[in-house]
Structure 1
Amino acid sequence: MFPTFEVVPAVDMQDGQVVQLVGGERGTEKTYGDPVAAAKRWVDAGARTLHLVDLDGAFEGERANADAIDAVIDAVGAGVDVQLGGGIRTAEDATALLVRGVDRVILGTAAVENPDIVAEISETYPDSVLVSLDAKDGEVVVSGWTEGTGLDPAEAAQRYADLGAAGILFTDVDVEGQLEGVRTEPVAQLVESVDIPVIASGGVATVDDVLALQDAGAAAVVVGSALYEGEFTLEAAQRAVGE
């Protein structure tokens, strides 16, 4: 997974449409159309991995954009890795998605409520679980970024690495979707705390932000709003990081 640094386009879905939220807040979304069209656009631009999120699932606790996700998987084919989060609450949910063709499942709320689920899935499907540690004011938050857990991201990352997580997806919710730049210190702290890949997300506005996260030690960066708003192209970011 991520043998070299990657720029990973986000395809966040709500009500069957691609959206981007500001600071993880419902009601702040901006809509960008059909998920399949977005996925094809990024693959045509050279994306090797797509980051899919069922936002309705993240907020409501059960997957609500399954049809759109299935359509994206069918459209991009086996040559592109797909990682998916949002509403995956049980090992059975995760297994069904992995069988369906998802390469990596992203567990947030489920991993916080039942850490052993990480080991349970990883035992049968090694390298298939990313644990999502979304941080707001330095605290891991769950349920669509609406509930605090009291967990420190670095300490939680160590625990999930020990349970067999293939990587940590770290979202800096405080800057997510704002196009005002990244904060590299929390990412660097996570990278120092674990020996598994850390994928960074949140706040990317420029190619320099992408390079800053690469320098901080991230294995990949997920980019949403900046790409959809045309702040830079995927091709430009890939050239900058040497993809």
Structure 2
Amino acid sequence: MIVLPAIDLKDHQVVRLRKGEFHTVHRVAEDPLQTARAFAAAGAKYIHMVDLDGARSGARKNEAEVRAVAEHSGLKVELGGGLRTLADLEAADAMGVTRMVIGSAAVSDPDFVRAAVERYGERIAVGIDARDGVVKTAGWEDSSGLDYLDFAASMEQIGVKIVIFTDIETDGMLTGPSWDRLESLQRKITCRIIASGGVSSNEDIRRLRDMGLYGAIVGKAYYTGAVDLALAVKEAGEQC
């Protein structure tokens, strides 16, 4: 299982939120590149980055930081936040991003997802962010009214191979992932699933690994010291 330590960017700073609520934003590290290099030193091969400015408004502000990490950290960058057109994907590709995550636009424009998959294949992932099982968009501030399982199935039908699932209620709370919803998602789709939100310990990483998931994103638990990243990477297995 791939372990993806996370960097969320807002106004060029490394920050974290609680349950995706922007009024809870707080800085957790000084420098994105330095943080990414620490991830690499612990054995990580991938990094999950989110441009929160882009996720909320569609206007990305943190391209320089993403490019620096892609070019100088030695990590493969998975990027989400504000990727809503093919031009956005082209810009991310030019920055050196390995995997591009489509979030809100997957709800509003499934034809865009289809075109993205046709062009970039498995370099495209769809981020499914849900509260109480309902998909949220626009930086988790708007409700789509869509059931997360039905939406995941519709994405699989148009060719998506990788899904990143976040249960918003667990994000940044250090209470453990949403086990039941992850298991339901596994039963619903055959896509590779990356779990996001709630990881609170190395035991959580081991349990996600034992579920057979493709990947797990680690955010707040790394910054608080609740997860030993080097141990997590070692126990998760091959990072390919």
Name the TM-score, length of structure 1 as normaliser. Answer: 0.93
Does residue 34 in structure 1 map to residue 31 in structure 2? Answer: yes
Q: 2:60 aligned with 1:63, yes or no?
A: yes
Once the two structures are TM-superposed, the CA of residue 216 in structure 1 deviates from its matched residue by: 3.1
Take 2:40 and 2:235, find their aligned partners in 1: how far apart are those partners? Answer: 18
Per the TM alignment, residue 26 of structure 1 is displaced from its structure 2 partner at its CA by: 0.6
Aligned match for 2:95, one of 71, 93, 100: 100
What is the distance in 1 between the residues matched to 2:41 and 2:209? 23
Which deviations, in whole Å up to 9, do the C-alpha atoms of 1:97-142 show, x marking residues without a partner? Answer: 1243211111111111101111101112111111010011110101
Query: Does 2:172 align with 1:177?
Result: yes
Matched, 1:21 2:22: no
Q: Tell whether the 8 Å contact from 1:141 to 1:148 is kept in structure 2 after alignment.
A: yes
Structure 1 stretches (4+) deviating beyond 3 angstroms?
A: none
Q: How many residues are matched?
A: 237
Unaligned runs of 5+ in 2: none
Deviation at 1:241, TM superposition (A): 2.5
Contact 1:187 1:216 (C-alpha < 8 Å) held by counterparts = no
Contact kept, 8 Å, 2:66 with 2:95, in 1: the verdict is no
Task: Note the C-alpha offset of 1:213.
Answer: 2.1
1:67-124: CA deviation from partner (whole Å, max 9, x where unpaired):
11111112124xx321100011111111221243211111111111101111101112
Amino acid at match of 1:240: E
Cα distance in 1 for partners of 2:104, 2:62 equals 18
- What does residue 149 of structure 2 align with? 154
1:21-66 per-position Cα deviation (integer Å, ceiling 9, x unaligned) = 1010012122122111111110111111110100111111221111
1:228-243 to structure 2, matched below 5 A, reads 228-243=223-238
Is 1:140 the counterpart of 2:135 in the alignment? yes
TM-score by length of 2: 0.95
Does the 8 Å CA contact 1:82/1:103 hold for their aligned counterparts? yes
Q: 2-side partners of 1:241 and 1:68: how far apart?
A: 28
Question: Which runs of structure 2 are paired with 1:45-56 in the superposition (5 Å)?
Answer: 45-56=42-53
